[in-house]
Amino acid sequence: MSEQATAGQAAMSEQKRRMLAGELYHAGDAQLTADRLRAARLRERYNATRAHEPELRAEILDELLGTVGEGVEILPPLHVDYGYQTTVGPGTFVNTGAVLLDVARISLGADVQIGPGVQLLTPTHPLDPVLRRTGREAGEPITIGDNVWLGGGVIVCPGVTIGQNSVVGAGAVVTRDLPPNVLAVGNPARVIRAL
């Protein structure tokens, strides 16, 4: 491990370390607040771009997100909490109005199709009201496999994995994992047939 990497880890706040580990953390931590502000500035720049500026969009996405594959298109407006927790595979298309709350990792595979107004929500909050009042939260990762299609308005809840080639119908709320090669609809989403 390089000296620079070691110094970077030493500089990481305890709350950020806890967030990245999926443990309860306090979002008011100074380092996490600075990370969210960085993402907000980049998000504002991105959302102000125009359709005829694909190079500028790609440049901002490369700075905002953890990894962006070739041929990715994400239409503004886009909302992310941190950005660096989100990876997007090549050939993926994200329609307008996506909300990617990435306090935990969000992984979009290759050739994923995301409809308008889709929400990928990784944050969780304690059920215990006393603990919840302390402002602590956690997150569970979301994984979307290759060639998945999420229809408009789909909500994917914390900790969900959707297997490759699956399709989720518009407006569905995905509360648990979906296997590969299925069509799922409804609230909560349920598999209605194999593909």
All structural domains of the chain: 10-194 (2.160.10.10)
Q: In what order do the strands lie in the sheet with 73-74?
A: 73-74, 93-94, 113-114, 149-150, 167-168, 182-185, 190-194
H or E element at residue 121: strand 119-121
Residue 5 has pLDDT above 50, yes or no: no
Residue 9 has pLDDT above 80, yes or no: no
pLDDT band at 11 (very low <50, low <70, confident <90, very high): confident
Residue 16 has pLDDT above 80, yes or no: yes
CA-based nearest residue to 16, from 34, 4, 1: 34
Average pLDDT of the chain, as a whole number: 94
pLDDT of residue 10: 53
Q: Catalytic one among 26, 52, 79, 125?
A: 125
Total-model pTM: 0.93
Per-residue pLDDT averaged across 85-104, rounded? Answer: 98
Q: Is 52 one of the annotated active-site residues of the chain? A: no
**How many residues can be counted in the chain?**
195
pLDDT band at 6 (very low <50, low <70, confident <90, very high): very low
Residue 194 has pLDDT above 90, yes or no: yes
| Peptide bond preceding 141 in cis form (omega within 30 of 0) | no
